[in-house]
Structure 1
């Protein structure tokens, strides 16, 4: 039964993508090992991640979006390393065989795999036993020229700019909206924060609601941007656990401090939501948006540091790239207000063993 399941939902639908990459995928699904041909003069990059039902995705999430997000999150790690996808393996632990769920999951997985030319080359399916939750584990493989050794988190230097792509915090809004829809908003924010978040969600325009939910459910890994940052970025990572928490990893590895600009972060939201300035409590709304930007994850945008001489080159790469701060000597993460006051920011990341997303 296991092999029928694999053939029906994975080997058959993913077969054309693997055959289209026959020069790379020497052995794929059906053999004891996958065999990938690395191009001459290339380094291998790999990343693995696990998603657990009830922690990383809601039990009633559409299986298509679960499949998309499962692979997109791993591909984002390749993007943050400046690597091109080669292929991926998939491990599924299931409490039961749900053909409808598997068909939708496979469709979403194939959709993002095809978009980024990343064939499925192997994996495993197993019963979850007494565990009633689904577990999805994916390992991706990528390559980059041997001259490129990745964007080491320990390479950030004083006076470098801090850049982000897209709108960090947008997926966090999507998550808050999903919790609100389920009547569980108080589980992820409490007290004064809960009141501020409720006030924010009550006035979000419909176009922003759609974008936030879409970013949460179907994030787009920045593979092309990662490749274009070769020779420009020093340290780089993808934003999966929130801007403050993820940036804190860079600061610790590089033994430096960072100062984020409140004005720059606000300008990102003003660009996406120009009507915000028409609200009576614009300052309160922006304060809440910045707070959620700093703590919220799952955007899978890129955050990197770069020498000031690369500013024009980075800006020429396209729209939606923002310099939001600067690296300094010292320690800690700080926010500079419009009045030039500095406030220390907690750089705590999402902790899988301390809280549950779903």
Structure 2
């Protein structure tokens, strides 16, 4: 089976850790860690940090820092189907950061918490060389939370999108191309994953994943973890118009919006064939189906494109490597424009 680079690297550095006998998920098997407290009582938790995005200049606006500090954890909870208990924060401020900036940051934190209906429980604050903001979310469920495991051949890949797909990867491409904010305004990148939607759909789903690492790469992760391949169908209507415009103006294939490592923090669901007709139509789109054959193809216009997921999965986690991968994928996909 093909390897997931992040999982391989994690195993190397983690070694053998002291684990809870009540934890039900394995490493990389879910977006949240899951602990079974009783027969019908599950605790879920996830933790995410925002640091490198600020240091390199991908996220430049304070409002983005605060919004994504909250939503990066909310998106994990949304993929689990659990309901939130609350969120805690660690804010490590760059030395000499003014109290006025900190106050504005926490005002934006409140807006994000209210929007997601996840209360702030507390946290910790300090100083460091650069800003690092960390959120940890707690949730609960009376039924087993969703994981990334459970997909079978014939199951459908369904995205909860709100027609906002593509802004995350387009923002990363803007950064790689060293373009001004006007090329794609950062203020439109405001993911809003819905844990309520996943709860409502929970009886119809067999697995799920948060697309923070990119839509295509997350579909590939699901396929590898479940030893499957897939056939996808391009869906133009799920995308934010500014993301499509960004690609069109630069003669970049819009398929690149599915291949970025920076995602849109949406929920990607696995739906068994028997349940697909029961799904609501609004805000959900079928992207494809899993298959036993280990191939990963996209039907785009009149082309059947073999997506280069092996190259994406093996890409180094640094800006230069991402830039080379971007150039390579653009050249490859532009053959199908």
TM-score (norm 1): 0.68
> What is the rounded CA distance, in whole Å, between the counterparts of 1:323 and 1:290 in structure 2?
16
CA drift at 1:272: 5.0
CA drift at 1:331: 2.1
Aligned-residue Cα RMSD (Å) equals 3.5
> What is the rounded CA distance, in whole Å, between the counterparts of 1:307 and 1:214 in structure 2?
37
In the alignment of these two chains, the number of paired residues is 280
Alignment partner, residue 293 of structure 1: 258
Deviations 1:59-110 (A, max 9, x none): 8733233111110111010001011111111112223242122112101111
> What is the rounded CA distance, in whole Å, between the counterparts of 2:122 and 2:138 in structure 1?
12
Q: Which shifted more, 110-119 or 57-66?
A: 57-66
TM-score (norm 2): 0.71
Alignment partner, residue 136 of structure 2: 139
Alignment partner, residue 274 of structure 2: 309
Alignment partner, residue 318 of structure 2: 354
SS in 2 for 1:124: strand
1:170/1:59 CA distance change after superposition, 3 Å: closer
Deviations 1:10-36 (A, max 9, x none): xxxxxxxxxxxxxxxxxxxxxxxxxxx
CA drift at 1:349: 5.1
1:324/1:60 CA distance change after superposition, 3 Å: closer
> What is the rounded CA distance, in whole Å, between the counterparts of 1:159 and 1:259 in structure 2?
10
Alignment partner, residue 196 of structure 1: none
Deviations 1:177-216 (A, max 9, x none): 5666x6479xxxxxxxxxxxxxxx98xxxxxx56xx4442
CA drift at 1:172: 2.1
Alignment partner, residue 43 of structure 1: 42
Unaligned runs of 5+ in 2: 1-36, 324-337
> What is the rounded CA distance, in whole Å, between the counterparts of 2:43 and 2:62 in structure 1?
31
> What is the rounded CA distance, in whole Å, between the counterparts of 1:98 and 1:39 in structure 2?
46
Alignment partner, residue 70 of structure 1: 69
Q: Is the 8 A contact 2:75 2:193 kept in 1?
A: yes
Q: Do residues 260 (structure 1) and 232 (structure 2) align?
A: yes
1:82/1:350 CA distance change after superposition, 3 Å: farther
CA drift at 1:231: 1.2
The higher radius of gyration belongs to 1
1:250 maps to which of 217, 222, 226: 222
Q: Is the 8 A contact 2:54 2:60 kept in 1?
A: no
1:93/1:322 CA distance change after superposition, 3 Å: same
The residue correspondences of 1:116-131 to structure 2 (distance < 5 A) are 116-128=116-128, 131=129
> What is the rounded CA distance, in whole Å, between the counterparts of 1:330 and 1:56 in structure 2?
41
Unaligned runs of 5+ in 1: 1-37, 186-200, 203-208
Q: Do residues 158 (structure 1) and 130 (structure 2) align?
A: no
Alignment partner, residue 82 of structure 1: 81
CA drift at 1:340: 6.5
SS in 1 for 2:46: strand
CA drift at 1:49: 0.6
Q: Is the 8 A contact 2:214 2:258 kept in 1?
A: yes
1:352/1:184 CA distance change after superposition, 3 Å: farther
